Amino acid sequence: MPAQTTHTPAATQTAQLPQIHEPRNPGMPLDLDWVRALQANTSAIERRAASLPARRSVKKAHQAAWLLRAVTCIDLTTLSGDDTEARVLRLCAKARQPVARAVLDALGMGPITTGAVCVYHEMIPAAARALEGTGIPVAAVSTGFPAGLSPLHLRIAEIEESVKAGAAEIDIVISRRHVLSGDWHALYEEMQAFRAACGEAHVKAILATGELGSLRNVARASQICMMAGADFIKTSTGKESVNATLPVTLVMIRAIRDYYARTGFRVGYKPAGGISKAKDAITYLAMIKEELGDRWLRPDLFRFGASSLLTDIERQLEHHVTGHYSAGYRHAMG
């Protein structure tokens, strides 16, 4: 592959970063005064979110660096009814080497991996075997995903079975009805039960923000889940009609910032669904950097719930190196 760029110092800085062992969020007692005081100025939030893509544009080597960082924060995901073990094994191979070796060499990069591989419970053993020794965690969706309407004891049992099968991260879905009815005690207790069932596995709380009715509800649900011990808060299952958006992201990461200021514990953030373009990934990363700071630009505190995103990032990186765009089919996920 002819290379126009043989070494990119800015990109080199985005190599797989050494792991930092952040103390887990232990949660805190439910503080309803704090929760009920939370409001959301929708018009101001939307103006701030709309301004970011126009104001934050990075080019050439800096763009390559941001895109490589984005790759390390992707949860490669397959959540289809026709999933097979073969598909999961191909996805795991892609997670181990998400960008072509020739492109990484041209950028002066060492090996990188994605942040995790996310699958249904049935596919955990195959993914765990394929990723053994790589340090890439297996994430499993749980608790009656995506609706979260199965009996509570079954949702808790599902978490326990997924952890037993080898999942290091559990993506749970909250009961939206608790938010819509303002039953914050029920949401807090449910999230506490899910966190306890996860044990040492990290728990990502999926809020399904497109179904919560308002940005104020998003802010309050975010704080409740963090108070109950969530390690991450996540926008969506990817199955709703509205998934990750910049206004929702702004509300959720500001909730994370407030929680850190009050407790000293960092909680991660995961936008999921609808993020498929490299330029969108850079916009999300820029918002995280501005609102939360560089510490959140690592996979232990930030993830993209996406797979098609990786294809566009690969095409952009190859264009940076060769000056030509390759066909999308050359970067198939599996």
pLDDT at 2: 38
Residue positions annotated with a catalytic role: 171, 234, 270
Nearest-angstrom CA–CA distance, 327 and 177: 44
Residue 297 belongs to domain spanning: 9-13+29-324
Domain count, the chain: 1
Q: What integer is the mean pLDDT of 236-243?
A: 92
Q: Given pLDDT bands bounded at 50, 70 and 90, which one contains residue 222?
A: very high
Q: Percent of the chain having pLDDT more than 90?
A: 85
pLDDT at 330: 72
pLDDT at 16: 56
User: Which is more confident, 5 or 294?
Assistant: 294
Tell me whether residue 203 is in a domain: yes
Residue 10 scores a pLDDT above 90: no
Tell me whether residue 131 is in a domain: yes
- List, edge to edge, every strand of the sheet that includes 138-141: 268-270, 232-234, 202-206, 169-173, 138-141, 116-119, 74-77, 304-305
Q: Given pLDDT bands bounded at 50, 70 and 90, which one contains residue 9?
A: very low
pLDDT at 314: 95
Tell me whether residue 193 is in a domain: yes
Q: What integer is the mean pLDDT of 98-127?
A: 96
Q: Which of 252, 201, 261, 196 is nearest to 224 (CA)?
A: 252
Q: Given pLDDT bands bounded at 50, 70 and 90, which one contains residue 18?
A: low
Q: What integer is the mean pLDDT of 152-166?
A: 98
Tell me whether residue 2 is in a domain: no
Tell me whether residue 202 is in a domain: yes
Tell me whether residue 257 is in a domain: yes
Nearest-angstrom CA–CA distance, 51 and 132: 43
Nearest-angstrom CA–CA distance, 159 and 114: 23
What is the rounded average pLDDT for all residues in the chain? 92
Tell me whether residue 283 is in a domain: yes
Distance of CA 305 to the CA centre of its chain: 5
Extract the runs of DSSP E, i.e. beta strands, from the chain. 74-77, 116-119, 138-141, 169-173, 202-206, 232-234, 268-270, 304-305
Tens of pLDDT, residues 262-288: 999 999 999 999 899 999 999 999 999
Q: What integer is the mean pLDDT of 200-217?
A: 97
Q: Given pLDDT bands bounded at 50, 70 and 90, which one contains residue 60?
A: confident
User: Which is more confident, 252 or 9?
Assistant: 252
Residue 183: which CATH number? 3.20.20.70
pLDDT at 5: 38
pLDDT at 328: 66
Tell me whether residue 331 is in a domain: no
Q: Given pLDDT bands bounded at 50, 70 and 90, which one contains residue 13?
A: very low
Q: Given pLDDT bands bounded at 50, 70 and 90, which one contains residue 326?
A: confident
229: left (phi over 0), alpha (psi -120 to 50) or beta: left
